[in-house]
Amino acid sequence: MRICVIGGGLCGLVAAERLTARFDIEILERNPVLGGCLGSFRKQEYMLENFYHHCFPNDTAFFSLLDMLGLSADLRWFHGSTGSFENGKVFPLTTAREILRYPALSLVEKARLALLTLRAGSIDLAPLDQVSATEYIIDRLGDRVYREFFEPLLRSKFGDARTDVSAAWLISRIAIRSHRGAAGEKLGYPNGGFQRVIDALEKKIRTAGGSIRTGTPVTGMRRTNGTWEVNGESYGAVISTIPPHMLAAIGGPPAPVIPYQGACCLAIGLEREITDGVYWVNMKEAAPYGAVIAHTNFAPRQWYGEDIIYLASYFTGCPAPDVERRMLADFRERFHVQPGEIHWTHLSTECLAGPVYVRGYRDNIPAYRENGLYFAGMFSRPNYPERSMEGSVRAGSDVAAEVLARGE
Ligand SMILES: Cc1cc2nc3c(=O)[nH]c(=O)nc-3n(C[C@H](O)[C@H](O)[C@H](O)COP(=O)(O)OP(=O)(O)OC[C@H]3O[C@@H](n4cnc5c(N)ncnc54)[C@H](O)[C@@H]3O)c2cc1C
């Protein structure tokens, strides 16, 4: 049977790899290259992700994928430190001592925050899906902890949509990110970057006889005589990895709208280190970017021969006009960077960068099979309440297992 996989991101590639031995698989990807949100660009001698990426110690499905692709030995573990930029400087917030020294919160507020962090992993998330993160934090930790600590974090992650986000998202996020030692969180990154995972998947699929068509957006589909017609070609089954409501817009079955947000990342190659050794710096003050992510304060600088940072911002709808110029001008002024210290810049924009985990999101998560179609992606259950590479690997494997179980 001929199966069409819509989308050549991580989820589509994983599903296709699992199925190529049994079926005639064809991946249709709108972009000229594979990878979706995990795509990369070439810079001189190295590849770099369009959007900052790292994996976490409990990403077990992702590790199994690396094993299968023969890449496990290339995964390196580093410490990811965090900080906050305020009043013109970076406040490191990684170690207990640094947090104790942080002036914006009182000792009691810090103790309450520490307690929530310790408990986060054991909190039942189901009822929190209906509660707003803002209300939850203000109720439990007070207005000041929200304003000084959580609001900048939510703003950097969700922009204007931050007050709609559920407490389930926030608590799960705290739980994931609280596995940290004295030097910070343990985060993984492969030697050569995540593009190696995409390349290895592509090679496996092609070697097994699967077909991959990049630069091929799906613009129309319809059901005819028990089969699906996609872009005018007939398939026995379709696995869609794009948001179900986007599929509905091009002829797929009706689906509830899952709110998505966009992301802009401006990668910058630099002459020198900028964030006092900290990997992830949240901007407490309003800026055209919510975080500065210093890639080479995480992955070794010698891999690249220069410092690399990302300025990251999330948006709803369309990115702000002139976003690259505004980000760069603000960054140069705020961090005192001279034009000659900038080697290059690379802007990446993705309008479907991830679901916004608004209240009630859980009830709208689509099943893997609905209306005779297969669905899997960032909107699937393993990506709730935080989308990740791990979640998309699981969703891709799960949907492939559904297809195999039906033997279609
Ligand atoms: C800024 C940012 C930072 C991130 N950081 C991390 C991180 O540090 N750690 C982590 O684990 N995860 C991170 N993620 C999440 C991770 O990248 C995603 O969860 C994962 O890559 C999603 O894969 P996917 O295949 O489900 O979706 P996508 O990557 O969105 O793939 C969908 C594919 O469908 C294609 N497509 C869309 N419409 C059509 C159409 N009409 N026709 C054909 N093709 C179409 C798209 O081009 C895309 O390639 C990050 C994501 C972003 C945006």
What ligand 1 atom has the least distance to the C-alpha of 13? 25
Q: Which helix (H) or strand (E) holds 350?
A: strand 342-355
Tokens of 352: 């479907």
- 109 phi and psi angles, rounded to 5 deg: -65, -40
CB atoms within 10 A of CB 392: 29
d(CA 405, CA 74): 33
Rounded to two decimals, the pTM is 0.95
253 cis-preceded (ω within 30 degrees of 0): no
Residue with CA at minimum distance from ligand 1 atom 36: 7
> Diameter of the chain by CA atoms?
69
pLDDT tens for the chain, residues 1 to 408: 999 999 999 999 999 999 999 999 999 999 999 999 999 999 988 999 999 999 999 999 999 999 999 999 999 999 999 999 999 999 998 887 888 889 989 999 999 988 898 888 899 999 999 999 999 999 999 999 999 989 988 987 887 788 899 999 999 888 876 666 666 689 999 999 999 999 999 999 999 999 999 999 999 999 988 899 999 999 999 999 999 999 999 999 999 889 999 999 999 999 999 999 999 999 998 899 999 999 999 999 999 999 999 999 998 888 888 999 999 999 999 999 999 999 999 999 999 999 999 999 988 899 999 888 999 999 999 999 889 999 999 999 999 999 999 875
Q: Which helix (H) or strand (E) holds 65?
A: helix 60-69
Q: How far is CA 318 from CA 139, 328, 353, in A?
A: 33, 19, 12
What is the whole-number distance in angstroms between the Cα of residue 79 and the centre of ligand 1? 24
DSSP, res 131: S
What is the whole-number distance in angstroms between the Cα of residue 113 and the centre of ligand 1? 32
Tokens of 208: 């097994």
User: Contact 83/93 with Cβ under 8 angstroms?
Assistant: yes
Residue with CA at minimum distance from ligand 1 atom 4: 53
Q: Provide the 3-class DSSP secondary structure of residue 117.
A: helix
Mutate which of 14, 18, 38 for ligand 1? The one with the most ligand atoms within 8 Å of its CB, which is 38
Mutate which of 11, 37, 245, 310 for ligand 1? The one with the most ligand atoms within 8 Å of its CB, which is 37
Q: DSSP letters along 161-199, please?
A: GGGGBBHHHHHHHHHHHT-EETTEEEEEEETT-THHHHH
What ligand 1 atom has the least distance to the C-alpha of 314? 1
Q: How far is CA 374 from CA 277, 304, 370, in A?
A: 45, 41, 7
Q: Can you tell me which residue has the tokens 């297809």?
A: 403
Residue with CA at minimum distance from ligand 1 atom 14: 388
Q: DSSP letters along 253-278, please?
A: PP-PPPPEEEEEEEEEEESS--STT-
Q: Which domains does the chain have, with CATH numbers?
A: 2-53+194-257+361-406 (3.50.50.60), 95-182 (1.10.3110)
DSSP, res 54: -
d(CA 88, CA 80): 22
User: Contact 172/387 with Cβ under 8 angstroms?
Assistant: no
* pLDDT the model gives residue 182: 64
Q: Provide the 3-class DSSP secondary structure of residue 151.
A: helix
Q: In the structure, which protein residues have their CB atom closer than 6 angstroms to any atom of ligand 1?
A: 6-12, 28-31, 36-38, 51-55, 217-218, 241-242, 263, 265, 350, 352-354, 377-378, 387-392
Residue with CA at minimum distance from ligand 1 atom 2: 51
What ligand 1 atom has the least distance to the C-alpha of 241? 32
* pLDDT the model gives residue 372: 83
d(CA 19, CA 30): 21
Tokens of 367: 């099943």
Q: Provide the 3-class DSSP secondary structure of residue 38.
A: helix
User: Contact 368/380 with Cβ under 8 angstroms?
Assistant: yes
CB atoms within 10 A of CB 192: 14
Q: Provide the 3-class DSSP secondary structure of residue 77.
A: strand
